[in-house]
Structure 1
């Protein structure tokens, strides 16, 4: 189990914090649903810290088998001692149940259906029966919180109605521009507030561009600011250098956005268009070609 620090800061999520705390206090299971970078993990860490609850983190992927989630009998110990409870190795689910903590499942829609089925009885009855081990009942305070990005179709599967029926859903959209500026500022230092605000504006513009089906999260802004600062130092230019900013934007954002199939343009072309719209035309020296021009 992971103990969470209480100094985790959540920006612009007062309503969601209240809803999550109330849902957990009522004994409900919760599904946090929203695009990447909207603070789902940060929100849970903050709430867990305020509850003084530890939590077990599970990353949802195709490799998450029921044994990895629930636990298993140590094969070497079974040979010498048999199926004794002492040789059972608890997985994150049983650990959270015994300790009265939170089980946090990231990327719920990437978890195989067979593994999700192992959660059904636990979510409804707060107990589960493990073959050869017996019935394990959850201690007070146990809860299941899951998160997923409903817009990502690659490597995901449809979550069954049985899972939805056992969860309360909290929808989390993108935060305000001001909130995203604060998030960037607490992670990385920029040359000025105005420059960081324009970086956030650039990242937010990727979410509405007609040729993009997926835009960048605020993580793109954080990386852009950090990269631009490092490039400026390497090149010996100002922190808000136009070319360093463009190069940083191309590197930080081109892998995060997805161009619509109907568009003939590259991610780099769309990013440069947005960059020029928000930061203006390049100074003549940058147009002539700087050391870092892409």
Structure 2
């Protein structure tokens, strides 16, 4: 029975449309590029789809060190000295593994991969085979698919992907989920906390994506980490998790390293996080307020 988006809705929260589009593209025999900011569930989506379709899933981290040899594979040097170049001593790389088994090859951060390595991928997509020196042609088994992910916001160490890649792939844009979906994800993956306070934390994280000084805001991972840090601080301080100062400390720890400010911004990430925190939880309560929850 074919996998449907309904089968994966509980596993990949708030991604019903993207699941349907991905399954349609893969079902049509297409290769796919997922484009979107970090933390939007690209890897989770692909692992879930591969798992439900019961196909091998080969994960590769894209970076400048991903040479054609690392992607395709190599002959075992020790075995070559004693036996020569025999097919049985070739060590398959992730691309060849995926091609032989009809699996899904997933490359993260495709725009960090060297051009010469991309050229190997182009051959596998266009011809359905790769020619390996001293090994010969390796043909892709039925079901072989190549899926890549890219983060369009981080230009450091990245390069523009050639039109040849886009011409051979279908593109699915993945933005951030809705606030309801992010709240649900936080409830599933974070510690148990008061619902209203968790909703405010979700609102705080979402506000990092809209601040004029912030180039890249936080994903829902920021919510999960903030909830976790706050829970640990509450236990260590014997304080209520909704305590204003405790929440600010947790927000600073969870978010100050995640957000990316514009180069022209003269403020620190900590200052921006505090401003955003005060916008959601109110200004710092005075000692004689008698209520340190920070709720406006």
Same fold (TM over 0.5): yes
Q: Is the 8 A contact 1:213 1:260 kept in 2?
A: yes
| Rounded Cα–Cα distance in structure 2 between residues aligned with 1:57 and 1:191 | 34
Q: Partner of 1:103: helix, strand, or coil?
A: strand
- 1:286 Cα shift? 10
The answer to whether the 8 Å contact 2:129/2:139 transfers is yes
Return the match for 1:30 from 23, 32, 37.
32
Normalised TM-score (structure 1): 0.93
SS in 1 for 2:30: coil
CA–CA separation in structure 2 for the residues paired with 1:102 and 1:166: 16
Kindly report which structure 2 residues correspond to 1:94-113, keeping only aligned pairs within 5 A, or say none. 94-113=96-115
Give SS of 1:79's match.
helix
Query: Partner of 1:165 in structure 2?
Result: 167
Runs of 4+ deviating beyond 6 Å? none
SS in structure 2 of the partner of residue 135 of structure 1: strand
Match of residue 3 from structure 1: none
Residue 119 of structure 2 is matched in structure 1 by 117
1:195 aligned residue: 197
Q: 2:270 aligns with which of 268, 279, 283?
A: 268
- Which residue of structure 2 aligns with residue 208 of structure 1? 210
Normalised to the residue count of structure 2, the TM-score between the two structures is 0.92
Counterpart CA distance in 2 for 1:75 and 1:273 is: 58
- 3-state DSSP class of the match of 2:13? coil
Structure 1 residues 96 and 286: alpha-carbon distance in aligned structure 2, compared to 1, 3 A threshold: farther
Q: Deviations over 1:116-169 (max 9, x none)?
A: 111111011211111100111111111000001011101111111111111100
2:256 to 254, 257, 261: 254
Once the two structures are TM-superposed, the CA of residue 50 in structure 1 deviates from its matched residue by 2.1
The separation in 1 between residues aligned to 2:35 and 2:133, in whole angstroms, is 33
How far did 1:7 drift?
10
In angstroms, what is the RMSD of aligned CA positions?
Answer: 1.7
Shift of 1:263: 2.1
The unaligned stretches of length 5 or more in structure 1 are 1-5
SS in structure 1 of the partner of residue 146 of structure 2: strand
How many residues were matched structurally? 283
